[in-house]
């Protein structure tokens, strides 16, 4: 887990700290599938700006995730350009929205923040390609390689009574 000691920045109100940080990324479990960041360590741009009422944190980095396609289970690769921003008030009081969960004991939890920032940028489905046809619901064959339809579509016997009613109407 990668952290940054905020005491290193030594900022006064109105000042900014910028640096490149190497961040360790962890794999994602999404929809029962595992997606691996490649490489596991990325170089991120970290910017910390101190104001009179609080501190703003910005993080930018590219990430590439490898894992199975949501539709056909082939290998899929997703490239993201992540930009995240957080705010920590100088005196947040009881207001949770004025504090970031990524600052603890003067440590900025970069790996945790990067993980959550990536999760926020993920699409609903990770696909091998935009027009992926997926797998056949009847036989399980890959429809990208062998597009087909089943002429003899079997109905579930539990629906037989409704089928008879449909024919009578």
DSSP letter, residue 69: -
Summarised one tens digit per residue, pLDDT across range 24-75 is 999 988 888 999 999 999 999 999 999 989 999 999 999 999 999 999 999 9
Q: What percent of the chain has pLDDT over 90?
A: 66
- Residue-averaged pLDDT of the chain: 91
Q: Which residue's structure tokens are 């016997």?
A: 157
Q: Is the pLDDT of residue 108 over 70?
A: yes
Residue 12's pLDDT is 87
pTM of the model as a whole: 0.80
Q: Which residue's structure tokens are 């910005």?
A: 58
Q: Is the pLDDT of residue 145 over 90?
A: yes
Q: Which residue's structure tokens are 């440590």?
A: 107
∠ at Cα 91 (88, 93), nearest 5°? 100
Contact yes or no for 64/41 (Cβ under 8 A)? no
How many angstroms separate the CA atoms of 30 and 122, rounded? 10
Residue 166's pLDDT is 83
How many angstroms separate the CA atoms of 98 and 15, rounded? 20
């Amino acid at each position: 887990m990668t952290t940054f000691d905020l005491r290193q920045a030594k900022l006064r109100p109105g000042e900014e700290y910028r640096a490149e940080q190497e961040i360790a990324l962890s794999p994602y479990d999404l929809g029962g599938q595992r997606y691996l960041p490649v490489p596991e360590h990325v170089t991120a741009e970290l910017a910390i700006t101190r104001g009179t009422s609080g501190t703003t944190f910005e993080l930018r980095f590219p990430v590439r995730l490898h894992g199975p396609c949501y539709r056909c289970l082939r290998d899929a690769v997703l490239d993201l350009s992540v930009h995240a921003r957080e705010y920590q008030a100088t005196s947040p009081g009881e207001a949770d929205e004025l504090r970031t969960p990524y600052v603890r004991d003067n440590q900025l939890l970069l790996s945790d923040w990067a993980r959550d920032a990536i999760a926020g940028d993920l699409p609903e489905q990770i696909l091998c390609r935009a027009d992926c046809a997926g797998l056949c619901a009847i036989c399980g064959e890959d429809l990208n390689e062998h597009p087909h339809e089943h002429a003899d579509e079997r109905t579930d016997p539990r629906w037989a009574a409704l089928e008879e009613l449909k024919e009578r109407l």
